[in-house]
Amino acid sequence: MTSDSRHGHAGDESASGTASDSRSHRVEGAGGISIHVREWPGPDPPVLLLHGFENSSIVWSGVAPILAQHRRTLAMDLRGHGRSEWSPGGRYRADDFVSDLSSLADQLADEELSLVGHSLGGSIALHFTAQFPERVRDLVLVDFGPEQKPTGTRIIRQDSLAEPRTFATVAEFVNVLAHRYPMVAGDTIHEIAREELCRTTDGRFERRSDPCLKIAILGNGPATPSQRARKDRRFWELLAQVSCPTLVARGLGSAMLRQQTAERMAQEVLRRGRLAVVGRAGHSVMLDNPLELATVLVSFLADPGFLAGPGRGPRSAERREAFTDALRDSASESEGRHAHDRRGESS
């Protein structure tokens, strides 16, 4: 591969073109990294779509044109993904993604953003909203939340690590994607495959994404119970900080986000939370059922209270205070256990 394609730049080595109804441009991310953005023109305020691990902005091609009938819509390729540059030194921490998002917001939006994030993109959107509440108009978390199902995370890890780096033909990659996304339409699978691949110097096809992402995001091994507990507690804390209207959009057949977790997020933790369950969809909601997800998003962004009803309104101050107290007690107990463990190790 050339140095340009290794860093995600679009060029002659692309396996195909881009989504036909969007225009592409580049913005400067944190540290000068080049970030690729697709834009579907529409009226402000803007909506920014964030994809998940080893995806790219192309996964929103079924949702974005519908949103753009109502709002200016943008979708970025996260650093190391799609046509964005690979991160020097393999820096793919939450802070790195948030810094890129902050830079993009400075350059592309003069007002508050609506953020829509799926999976890893949901984590980034949540971190950004908690850190910069004044910059976020409303937030949508698509099949993302704490306490993910172990089976789902294991499947994602196994599929990613088992996938070959290069393919003899685009069709080989199509077969991989068809296995991974069994509910996604065939033409969408082919569109993703053509966009995600570029040619190598020996004539094969390779994913545009940085291979360092696998270790940076997935780690060297499955998370330990204590690591998962700390991560989940942090997500709950961030959710409790969010003050803007927030929609939790869960796929009905999700192998990642539990229904009871989604309900707790929307009804007990988020100050202005709503919940929508999208039918005929698993974890990859925007690919499995883009029309229903787009319809839900249009309704929510036009009126964040549209899902209000029994058990779906903003949580009471008493419930929020009780939850915050429980988080604080949990953190104190955890710190106490860690201190005890350290004393035991030093004795």
pLDDT tens-digit profile of 314-341? 444 555 555 555 555 555 554 554 444 4
The pLDDT, as a whole number, for residue 233 is 97
| pLDDT score of 347 more than 60 | no
The pLDDT, as a whole number, for residue 17 is 37
> What distance in Å separates the CA atoms of residue 246 and residue 117, rounded to the nearest whole number?
11
23-28 vs 47-50, strand pairing mode = unpaired
The pLDDT, as a whole number, for residue 256 is 97
Percent of the chain with pLDDT over 90: 77
Residue 146 · residue 235 · CB < 8 Å: yes
Residue 15 · residue 195 · CB < 8 Å: yes
The pLDDT, as a whole number, for residue 317 is 53
Sign for the CA dihedral angle at 7, 13, 16, 18 comes to positive
The pLDDT, as a whole number, for residue 16 is 38
> What distance in Å separates the CA atoms of residue 205 and residue 197, rounded to the nearest whole number?
6
Residue from 265, 251, 261 nearest 319 by CA: 265
| pLDDT score of 4 more than 60 | no
> What distance in Å separates the CA atoms of residue 283 and residue 191, rounded to the nearest whole number?
19
The tokens of 212 are what?
């360092």
| pLDDT score of 210 more than 70 | yes
The pLDDT, as a whole number, for residue 222 is 83
**In sequence order, what are the residues at sequence separation of 6 or more whose Cβ sits closer than 8 angstroms to the Cβ of residue 320?**
240, 268, 269, 271
| pLDDT score of 109 more than 60 | yes
